[in-house]
Amino acid sequence: MKHPDELYTVLRRIFAEQRYGILATNGEQYPHTTIVCYAPADNLATLLFVTPRPSRKFKFLLEQPHASLFVDNRSDDPDALHQAYGIEARGTASQVGESQRPAYRSLYLAKYPELASFIDAETNAFFQLAVERYDIVHDFQTVIQLFPPDTAAPETPA
C-alpha cells in the first residue's frame, strides 16, 4: 500500500491530467450522474465545478447537498488495467461564497480558461464540494480510504 503522501501526489497528478469527472447527486428516486469539469482547491479539501441553474443537478444539490465526484485515469489498453486509478471524492456541496469566488474562479480558470463566460454567466452556479473522504481504487481491487491533507480521519464510535 502506498504512503498517504504518495497517494496525494497521485491525486494531484490525476486531477491535473483528467479534465472531466462524473458528479453523482441524490436524485428523485435514483442517483443522478452527470459529467462536469472540475478543479481541485484548498490542498485537495475542495473540488470546484459549475452547473446551470435550470438543471436537475442544481435542483438536487439544493435539496440534498451530499454528493460525490468520480475521476479516473482508465485506458482502453487491457495491459494498463492494473495501472488505473478510480477516485471517488465524497462530501457536501454548496455554492461558492462571494469572499471565496475570486480565488476559486482563478483556480478553475487556470484549468479551463475556455470556460470564463460559462463560470460568469448569471444562469450558472459555481459550486464547491467540501471533500470529507476519498475512496481510491487501484490495481483493479485495492480500495484505500484517504482524507484530505491536514484533516483528521473521523473518530469511529467505540
Q: Could you tell me if residue 135 is inside a domain?
A: yes
Task: Supply the pLDDT for residue 149.
Answer: 86
Radius of gyration, CA atoms only, the chain: 16
Domain carrying residue 106: 4-146
Q: Could you tell me if residue 152 is inside a domain?
A: no
Task: Supply the pLDDT for residue 75.
Answer: 72
The pLDDT tens digits of the residues spanning 15-73 come to: 999 999 999 999 989 999 999 999 999 999 999 999 999 999 999 999 999 999 999 99
CATH number at residue 69: 2.30.110.10
Rounded to the nearest integer, the mean pLDDT of the chain is 91
Among 77, 128, 122, which residue's Cα sits nearest to residue 107? 128
**136 bridge partner residues:** 87, 144
The domain total for the chain is: 1
Q: Could you tell me if residue 154 is inside a domain?
A: no
Task: Supply the pLDDT for residue 112.
Answer: 98
Q: Could you tell me if residue 74 is inside a domain?
A: yes
Q: Could you tell me if residue 105 is inside a domain?
A: yes
Q: Could you tell me if residue 157 is inside a domain?
A: no
Q: Could you tell me if residue 158 is inside a domain?
A: no
